[in-house]
Amino acid sequence: MAQSERLTSHQAAAFTLLLATALALVLVPVPPGTVRLGDAVVENRFTAQGAAAAALAAALASVSLGAYLYVFQPRELRGVWRLAVLGALLVLWTAAAKVFLALTLPDDDRLYLRYMLPLAAAPMLVASLLDGGVALATGSVLAFLAAFAGMHPADARAGAPPLLGLEMGSAFFAGGIAGVLAVQRAERLDRYVWAGALVALATFLPLLAFWLLSPERRGVDLPWMLLSSALGGGLSSVLTAGALVVLGYSLGLTTRVQLMELAQLTHPLLRQLQDRAPGTYHHSLMVSTLAERAAQAVGADALLVRVGCLYHDIGKLAQPAYYVENQLEGRNPHDSLDPEASAHIIVQHVQ
């Protein structure tokens, strides 16, 4: 699918159907039998009602995200591979949530270890690589799926507080949204450290609210809530920063951090331009400054515009003396060329 094309209803429907199928396969319990979780062997109780509930949850999440993509048409998602990566992130994190929450629920010892799950990493990655709006939608859908996956097994629901599902959904949702807001315009890697701290705080606050409502609250719960939230935020930050580089290069996407590196005047390519084509270099600086101010005035991406202008004439490095801004002492090599060859050289710098 070309970058300029809109996401059609057929493409949105296909994405929704494939995503719903994959999520259902993750959420629907395996056939009856014994399941080994670490050193514990538990009896799996398969019911038609449980399978139907999982399929409905998968369908609801997929339809919600598919409808968002079709209605709002985010430009960064107009590509089959990008849609595939978005779907893969959702399925992978849902599967991770199902496995991790199966190991930490029921929480008879009130350790709150389920909130160590770095669920916020997925929407943070989407915000860093693709689109902030899609990231918010992804975070919302993932919070719902994680809460459902955690509460789906019968033994997890047995003896659980009545508001546990809502508590989990609220904490995961708040952490994901905070992470998205923190990294959407991140231009330095240290911003991801602060993002992790913000995710931890946003996860902890809903836990504190539900803890205050609980008649069984104990003071010893608070350190465990803080520790689990902090670990979840830290892991989300580390996972996002690590995966950002790998996914960015594999998808051919330029991240904000990479743009900041390119915008540094000490970048080797700009140094070459300054040494070999000083006139072009100063021209590019002036154009980038003017364009950056214009972008700020109209609400466009000023950093992207600045970088684009800094490198827009980089092709002149091949033969800098053939461009008037780099010619000294009135010598013009075009005087000795026929018009066709002269025009070819000029056009070549943008090819």
In this structure, the answer to whether residues 186 and 320 fall within a common structural domain is no
One pLDDT digit (tens) per residue for the chain, 351 residues: 444 467 888 888 999 999 999 999 998 865 545 444 454 444 555 677 888 989 999 999 999 999 999 999 887 777 788 888 899 999 999 999 999 998 888 887 888 999 999 999 999 999 988 888 999 999 999 999 999 998 877 666 666 777 888 999 999 999 999 999 999 877 677 788 899 999 999 999 999 999 999 888 888 899 999 999 999 999 999 999 888 878 777 777 777 778 888 888 889 999 998 888 888 889 899 999 999 999 989 988 888 899 999 998 888 888 888 777 878 776 777 877 777 777 777 777 776
Q: Are residues 235 and 151 part of one domain? A: yes
Structure tokens at 58: 């998968």
Domain limit, last residue, from 187, 217, 251? 251
Q: Give the number of domains in the chain.
A: 2
Q: Is the domain of 121 the same as that of 210?
A: yes
Same domain, 304 and 245: no
Of 251, 277, 295, at which residue does a domain stop? 251
The whole-angstrom separation of Cα 137 and Cα 177 is: 9
* DSSP 8-state assignment for residue 218: -
Q: Is residue 314 part of a domain?
A: yes
Residue pair 146/97 in contact by the 8 Å Cβ criterion = yes
Which secondary-structure segment (H or E) carries 320? none
Does residue 313 fall inside a structural domain? yes
Which residue among 223, 251, 279 closes a domain? 251
Asked whether residue 116 is domain-assigned, the answer is yes
Residue 134 within any structural domain of the chain: yes
Q: What is the pTM of this model?
A: 0.78
Euclidean distance between CA atoms 90 and 64, whole angstroms: 13
Considering the domain architecture, whether residues 333 and 240 belong to the same structural domain is answered as no
Q: Does a cis peptide bond (omega within 30 degrees of 0) precede residue 162? A: no
Contact 188, 260 (CB under 8 A): yes
Q: Can you read off the two tokens belonging to residue 22?
A: 């994959």
Q: What is the DSSP letter of 50?
A: H
Report pLDDT for 155: 62
Residue type, 171: A
pLDDT at 253: 75
Domain that holds residue 221: 78-251
Sign of the dihedral through C-alpha 288, 135, 250, 75: negative
Q: How far apart are CA 119 and CA 168, in angstroms?
A: 11
Tell me, what's the pLDDT at 338?
75
SS3 107: coil
What is the residue whose two structure tokens read 């975070």?
139
234 and 322 both lie in a single domain = no
Q: How many other CB atoms are there within 10 angstroms of residue 12's CB atom?
A: 21
